[in-house]
A and B are shown apart, each in its own frame.
Chain A
Amino acid sequence: MRREKLRALSPLDEPRSPTELRIRQLRARDLLRGDLEGAALEQHVNESVLTTTLDKTMRWGRANSIFPATFGLACCAIEMMSIVSPRYDIARFGAENMRASPRQADMLILSGRVAIKMAPVVRRLYDQMLEPKWVISMGACSSSGGMFANYAVVQGADKFMPVDIHVPGCPPRPEALVYGFNKLQRMILGSPDPGWRRRYNAIGTEEWAREATGEASREEAEAYAAAREASVAHDAALAGESG
């Protein structure tokens, strides 16, 4: 019954019998040879080609192959490590590949309290990651300081870096983290622009020229040009000092 339902939902027809599958295989072979013509070609296209938009495909690919950085801060990291275990198995969502370098990672999980001495280090790791990049703030401490309302701990990691998903808990159970990760996936699938630049007043810090894509608003293009001018002026001032 369930299989029937899935078949009805699927945009592609599934072969109904082994014979039909064999016929399709032969048709595919003929296509590669260039022998397929007319009605048979039409049928092959109907059976095996799915149309969509490039954007959607890219988002689908991004959301389902997120590489998290191998990065733990405190006790939440123990819970975070268990999400790659067979019991919680984040590999189901394509995120089992923990990268040891921020330059290869797409997602940073802030798992634990961020001490004021650690904050610049975390920020540097975040800056080293290539865009598009996402951050999950895991647990009460990295979201708000949690129980450590004192001189040594940053009261919420989004004071110094953008955060996409906050997972509550002390520490959150691995299920909660996986749920937060699914929320992030849904966010990526839904909108290509996470919108954090607007939220954190960071328009103009893009690593690519958005005006070239034709998607940038006037405000964004101006901010980008201003940021570029400032950076050029900064470089010139440095060159003047050394020269």
Chain B
Amino acid sequence: MDSYLDILSVLILLSSIILVSHKRIKSYIKTFRIQSALIALTAGIMGWNSLIEEGSLDILVVCIIIILLKVILIPRLLHKTYGSIEYKVEKDFFLNIPLLIIICCGLVVFVYFSVSNISGLNEDHINLQVVNSFSVILIGLFFMISRKWALGQMIGFLVIENGIFVTAMFSTHGVPFIVDIGIFIDMITAILIMGVMVMQINEKFESININKLRNLKG
């Protein structure tokens, strides 16, 4: 089972790097969907394992919730949010895409060097999984910084939450159930609120370029 989890952690990292390399909003949402499906698969495998070993249904329920929320519901919300926006492809970047991808790779190297110096995270297989999932968090943060459109920040936030969830899964086999449920409720509320805010920004500022949100200074 561990080797499947290794492969899945690699694929999840891969999906976050592919996310950085896209320019169209539809591709962002599609890649996010694939990443969430991979995470649901990971949760499913771990849940199945915990069901057989300890008889607890917690992680399997969490897996089903992920499928409902992140694979089905949230992409639909995102589609609705960006439906009202005029342009669907992001043209303006701070740095060009190959450079962004190489910086993501640099982030993975950085995480590897940091994590390998912390005892308690240092056993063989856990090391690989934790490095990969922690890199997803940093890559999500980087994605948020590298995009000029407000929608990019929403998706970056979602990727950060994905990364945190996988890190929790891989390092501690999940947090207490009530905390998990609370995290999901918080996340979906956050996305709803951010979606409404993006629509309001679009209305008031005529674009979702966050560089135009610079009136308050000092």
Instruction: Indicate, yes or no, whether A interacts with B.
Output: no
Residues of A whose CB lies within 8 Å of any CB of B are none
